[in-house]
Amino acid sequence: MHNVYGLEMSRATFEGTKALLKGKRPFVLTRAGYAGIQRYSAVWTGDNDATDEHMLLSARMVTGLGLSGVSFTGPDVGGFMGNPSEQLFTRWMSLGVYAPFFRNHSAWDTKSKEPWSFGLNVERMVKEMIARRYRLLPYIYSAFYESTRSGLPVARSLAIPYTFDEKAYWYSYQNEYMFGDNLLVAPVSCNQQAAKVYLPGDGWYRLSSGEYYNGNAEVTVDAPLNDLPVFVKASGIIPMQSDVQFTAQKPSPVMELHIYNGVKPNSFTYYEDDGLTTQFEQGQYFRRTITFDPGMKEVRFSKVDGSYVSKFTSIRFVLHSFGDLMTIYTGDKDYSLKLKSGTERSVEMPFTSRDEIIIRY
């Protein structure tokens, strides 16, 4: 009954606040609850210690909560109790980028844990990490939408997509998890400069460098403080936006759509709404499915579902490891790609049509 009481506290808060806000969404945060708490509240994992052990445990707690149907969850990044070292704070912030709920929080009797409290070098690294989180918001928001429709958590145990892969259950890789459909995160302790990770399924690309790795393999990779091992699956689709300082700030009207070459088709449901009101319940949303089909050599955008007007009017395609490809074309126009860096090629094109769009290469 203690846990049910916690659930009903959040339910009462959610329903009462929703009535008072008159059309706007409540945000409720709790550390107490019961089965079904995800209907009413985000959840943080409770008071933790500023230790490597608790940092790595937090990754498992978040994916465990996800298996219980709770998607909007995360730990006190940096540790609630105790004082983290510069290395631990930096590493934990890099991991927090890939938590559904990302919050730096601490007890009143600890040292200040703002990023600038640890010196210019830490502040610089953490600032870039937080900026990466904001750039990933289109991808993250779409993952949350998927969670509301299917129940799939945003941070997913490898047991969900790779149920029959024995190594997904090995103790050595217990901290690894998927973040949305296309990103794999490999948490490591703050003093590790290299890490052995398991990459299930097909091929993977290091998010930071674009380096390719074969799937179904155990690999050792560099893990400096400013580069947590994070990988994009082959055929992965990652929408991103320009840097913003807060979620309500309007980004550049150009969305970056990153597509990582692979041999299997893949699709991604992009979702957008005003982020504030409940008008999405009346159809005020923007949803379209993006499909990458390497066999057909095409990227297909479904017809837009919903009446919301996207904040993006153009798309910059960023294609990773597509060989010598230099031209893509739609039904009425050819576009020349520019070499961006390494194996990346990009092109910007207008994107206001709500009808189906097919891009071939």
pLDDT of residue 341: 79
Instruction: Give, as one character, the DSSP assignment of residue 308.
Output: P
pLDDT of residue 342: 80
Dihedral sign for Cα atoms in the order 124, 130, 134, 140: positive
pLDDT of residue 29: 98
Residue 356 CA to residue 35 CA, distance in Å, equals 40
pLDDT of residue 68: 94
Nearest residue to 190 via CA among 230, 222, 224, 219: 224
Are the beta carbons of 286 and 310 closer than 8 angstroms? yes
Residues 217 and 291 in one domain: no
Domain ends where: 201, 233, 265? 233
Q: What secondary structure does DSSP assign to 184-252, as a single string?
A: EE----TT-SEEEEEE-SS-EEETTT--EE-SSEEEEEE--TT---EEEETT-EEEE----SSTTS---
pLDDT of residue 332: 83
Helices H / strands E in the chain, number of each: 5, 24
Residues 123 and 98 in one domain: yes
Residues 34 and 124 in one domain: yes
pLDDT of residue 78: 97
Residues 250 and 213 in one domain: no
Which amino acid is located at 234 in the chain? A
Interaxial angle between packed helices 86-96 and 120-135, expressed in degrees from 0 to 180 and rounded to the nearest 10? 10
CATH of the domain at 203: 2.60.40.1180
pLDDT of residue 340: 83
pLDDT in tens, the chain (361 residues): 999 999 999 999 999 999 999 999 999 999 999 999 999 999 999 999 999 999 999 999 999 999 999 999 999 999 999 999 999 999 999 999 999 999 999 999 999 999 999 999 999 999 999 999 999 999 999 999 999 999 999 999 999 999 999 999 999 999 999 999 999 999 999 999 999 999 999 999 999 999 999 999 999 999 999 999 999 999 999 999 999 999 999 999 999 999 999 999 999 999 999 999 999 999 999 999 999 999 999 999 999 999 999 999 999 999 999 999 999 999 889 999 999 878 899 999 999 999 999 999 9
Domain ends where: 233, 263, 292? 233
At 71, phi and psi to the nearest 5? -90, -40
Residues 145 and 159 in one domain: no
Domain ends where: 133, 150, 167? 150
pLDDT of residue 331: 86
Residues 136 and 37 in one domain: yes
How many structural domains are present in the chain?
A: 3
Residues 109 and 245 in one domain: no
Please name the residue ranges forming H helices in the chain: 2-21, 52-67, 86-96, 120-135, 137-150
Question: Which domain, by its residues, includes 339?
Answer: 237-360
Residues 119 and 251 in one domain: no
Two tokens at 299? 């990227």
Residues 254 and 209 in one domain: no
Nearest residue to 217 via CA among 195, 205, 199: 199
Which amino acid is located at 216 in the chain? N
Residues 175 and 144 in one domain: no
Residues 10 and 99 in one domain: yes
